[in-house]
Structure formats: structure tokens, C-alpha cells
Amino acid sequence: MTSPLVSVVIAAYNAARYLPETLESALAQTHAHREIIVVDDGSTDDTAARLAPYRSRIIYIRRAHGGLAAARNAGLRMVRGDYIALLDADDLWKPEKLEVQLDVARRHPESGLIVCDGVQFDGDAVLDSGLLGRTLARARDASPGGEITGHFHRAFLEGSTITCPAQTLIPRRVMERAGALYRLRRAGLRLLPPDQPALPREPARALARSLALPAR
């Protein structure tokens, strides 16, 4: 069975001080079949210089400043993967993040969005120990297997259920159906009603400026 290709899209604007650590977390993924696309949205800091040591391992796009949605769309036009993972330039992933989400996707092929939890932090200070909305977090914690799957479109429309794009893994077929990211709220995603997000449990330990890792 061919290992799925994951396209990691990182949009960056004047985030040079965070980018190396963010890239290292993407490059350290235990799922090695991936491409990393970094879109420099007209940064005026030393983003290009900070990316120089990584240029052989990433796809680098430099564009005039147009905002986060436009930068992400520029990256999405370049993807070749079976799945898309959005990662903000100041966020981090644990090494197993993609591997675990891909396992969930394999077991729930009907899901159009695979979401995990995480921790928001600033330095050594934990600002928020959970990134899922309260209702979904409670439902996930009450599930014997630590995972829930179902039609959550209404929940996404009625409130903020996902804190940051770094929590998500999106099948390419869903992004192709949804089209360009036309509006960004906290999750930065346009979702379709028929798709069933699967939400795995977060492990006891996680790091993040916003990072998410589901447990096995």
C-alpha cells in the first residue's frame, strides 16, 4: 500500500524568529512522505535568510503581501499531496502528529476533516490546556475509544470548535470541493456539510504555541 503524500502549507509574514523551530517540527514528522510548502507573504524581516538553510528541503514561494488567506491559497495551488496540513509559522507539531492523524483517516475514510487537540503556550507558560471547543472536547473525553466521528457542520457554524489550523488534516478531495479559502475565522477553514470530522484524543503531554497531537 502506497504511503499517502501529505502537503504541509506554511504561510509566513514577518515570522522569522519562529520559522526555524516550526520547520524543524514539520521536518521531524515520523510520517516521512510529505512536501513542505512555505509561502513568504512579502515579509520585511529576515524570513528569507532564516529559510536559506532549509531551501533544499522545502518549496519556497515569495509573493507580494496579500494577507493570510491569499498566502494560504498560493500554497494550496502548489500541493500535490493526498492530504493537506496547514501549519502557521509560529506553531509546532509533535513528531507523531501526521502519523496518528493519517491512521485515524485510514480508519474513518468518510471523514472530511481530522482534528486533534493541543496546548497553547507562551514560552514555558501554558495559556490553554485544550484547543478544542468545550462541547466536542467533552464528547471526545466521554468516548471509550477517545475518538468521535459524526456530522459536526452545525457545531462549526454555531461556535468556535477549532482554535488553530495546526490541529487539522484535510483530505485533498475536500479542499478541491470547497475551493479557495475565502474567509478566515479562528480555524481558517471552509467546511462542507457531508464531511464527518474525526476527533482523536490528545495525549497527556503536548507542546504548542498552538500544537496538536492525537493519541494512538
Which pLDDT tens digit goes with each residue over 172-206?
A: 999 888 776 544 333 333 333 233 344 443 332 22
Which run of H or E residues covers position 37? strand 34-41
* Chain position carrying cell 532549509: 54
Residue 109 and residue 122: Cα distance in Å, rounded?
Answer: 35
The total domain count for the chain is 1
Asked if residue 184 belongs to a domain, the reply is: yes
| Domain ranges, residue 47 | 6-212
Band of residue 98 on the pLDDT scale cut at 50, 70, 90: very high
Q: Percent of the chain beyond pLDDT 70?
A: 82
Q: What contacts 40, CB < 8 A, 6 or more positions away?
A: 12, 13, 47, 48, 51, 60, 61, 62, 63
> How much is the pLDDT for 131?
87
Q: How confident is the model at residue 214 (pLDDT cuts 50, 70, 90)?
A: very low
- Structural domain contains residue 1: no
User: At 57, which CATH number?
Assistant: 3.90.550.10
- Calculate what percentage of the chain has a pLDDT beyond 90: 53
Position 84 scores a pLDDT of 97
